[in-house]
Amino acid sequence: MPSILLKAPLSRLLKSYTPMSTPERLLRYVDALAEAVALEMDRDPSVFVMGLDVDDHKAIQGSTRGLLQRFGADRVFTTPLSEDAMTGVAIGAAMAGMRPIHVHIRMDFLMLGMNQLVNMAAKSHYMYGGAVKVPLVVRCMIGKSWGQGAQHSQGLHAMFMHVPGLKVVAPSNAHDAKGCLIAAIRDDNPVIFMEHRLLYGLEAYVPEQPYTVELGKARVVQTGTDLTIVGISNMLVECLRAQELLKEQGIHAEVIDPITLSPLDSETVVQSVARTGRLLVVDNGWTMCGASAEILARVAEARATRGAIVQRMGFAPTTCPTSPTLEQLFYPNPATIASAAHAMVRPDAAAWEPSPELARLAYQVQFRGPF
């Protein structure tokens, strides 16, 4: 039997947990990003958008569509291929009282501005005794499929989590994308805003008015009793599907979306693990010194979770492959997540592997690339 997710948009699944008081309309993740920026540019004239091709007709896959026409070239403009220098420009503007949004179509390109981000943006508030603020948002895409390959698909969020002074956000749905982006723009600290391209087409209920999603607060997406699963970025979607597969085996997983990786709300995870006794963290990055390692460490250090069974999953320990066939082995997926969780809950039972066909996700099947 094929998965229901092969027949229906994944938004059906997301609708079930998207937090909203008055469901009004469905909006795609990418459109929620554009709407958040437009609302803040309307509200605050100090907000502007810069980055390579933000004013192009393809508009960063649509996430900056319409901004140039609405706000003009003084507030929405492209930049040269000089990430280091342009990051410095953005930091300087932020120090001078503006609120820049620096957009990168690949997170990998942030490596070219690391000195600016780590040594300048993250530290200036501290080094100048609080006299200087750096209200900078750095938007960056991550992703897989469509042959993204070694230098265009890396999840490098753990590098930025390591640096005090930087906030790191990775929303998994359109509601949180809009609320977190507005919160990030209004924040007086530099924020690394991570967006997975496979999430861009997914819909969720999103209020039309401006609102914020608190940075530093996780959400329990699905309650359960047998183990806790934490999914980072789009892995939250894969974990939700794994949770459905596990339910068919009589295993009820609690699924948590951390939303913000730094500051990290480990207390929500600790409280969950204290009840379930098991924790599986699934990252959209490598496990070595990664976000999953940090979450497991915090749970291990908590008195309430002593003796808990813990495990992590993430990228295979090699370079991101371009081939779709190799991608299947490189990334966690609902089948591998469910199989690992099953082994944690029933260590004495025979290994269980759900059909890969049952684990396929509609949003991956539908993705055809940005152009």
Catalytic residues: 83, 152
Written as six digits, the tokens of 169 are 């956000």
Pairing label, strands 278-286, 227-231: parallel
Q: Classify residue 128 as exposed, middle or buried by CB count within 10 Å of its CB (0-12, 13-18, 19+).
A: exposed
Q: What angle do CA 369, 71, 179 make, to 5 degrees?
A: 60
Q: Is 165 helix (H, G, I), strand (E, B) or coil?
A: coil
Are the C-beta atoms of 178 and 36 separated by less than 8 Å? yes
CA atoms within 13 A on the CB side of 203: 10
Beta-carbon contacts of 269 under 8 Å, excluding residues fewer than 6 positions away, are 218, 228, 230, 256, 258, 279, 295, 298, 299
**Residue 26: φ, ψ to 5°:** -95, 140
- Nearest residue to 278 via CA among 344, 221, 219: 344
Instruction: Please choose, from the candidates 173, 170, 159, the residue with its C-alpha nearest in 3D space to the C-alpha of residue 286.
Output: 159
DSSP annotation of 121 reads I
Q: Name which of 102, 101, 136 is nearest 121 in CA terms.
A: 136
Enumerate residues 6+ apart whose C-beta is below 8 A from 137.
99, 100, 101, 102, 181, 184, 185, 187, 190, 191, 193
How far is C-alpha 282 from the geometric centre of its chain's CA atoms?
12
3-state secondary structure (DSSP) of residue 262: strand
Question: Which tokens sit at 313?
Answer: 């999953």
CB 182 within 8 A of CB 215: no
